[in-house]
């Protein structure tokens, strides 16, 4: 796993344009995964608060799980954006 990560990082360091494209795609993925996430999560938790475990039969627990997965997916996309940002900033500010 570590070798694959080093290969990807090396590739992105050699090709700044590719790093920029990957960062853009990850940013779009982050936006799509996190769009309206907070309001849906608040509504789901309010539903549990108001009606208790009765809403489990209607799929509210599954929806809560899907919202949590979406949150972690958004976090993964954000980490890719930050990694590409670090690579690009290092490349732009290096004095080679």
Where along the chain do its domains lie? 2-93
pLDDT at position 36: 86
Can you read off the two tokens belonging to residue 24? 């853009």
Reported as a pLDDT band with limits 50, 70 and 90, residue 96 is: low
Can you read off the two tokens belonging to residue 92? 């732009």
pLDDT at position 15: 94
Distance CA 60, CA 22 (A): 34
- Above 60 in pLDDT, residue 77? yes
Can you read off the two tokens belonging to residue 32? 């799509």
Can you read off the two tokens belonging to residue 10? 């090396």
pTM over 0.85? The answer is no
């Amino acid at each position: 796993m570590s070798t694959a990560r080093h290969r990807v990082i090396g590739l992105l360091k050699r090709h700044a344009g590719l790093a920029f494209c990957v960062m853009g795609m990850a940013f779009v993925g982050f936006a799509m995964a996190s769009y309206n996430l907070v309001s849906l999560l608040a509504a789901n938790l309010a539903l549990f608060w108001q009606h208790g475990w009765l809403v489990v039969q209607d799929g509210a627990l599954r929806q809560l799980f899907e919202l949590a997965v979406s949150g972690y997916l958004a976090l993964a996309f954000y980490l890719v954006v930050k990694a590409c940002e670090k690579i690009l900033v290092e490349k732009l500010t290096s004095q080679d």
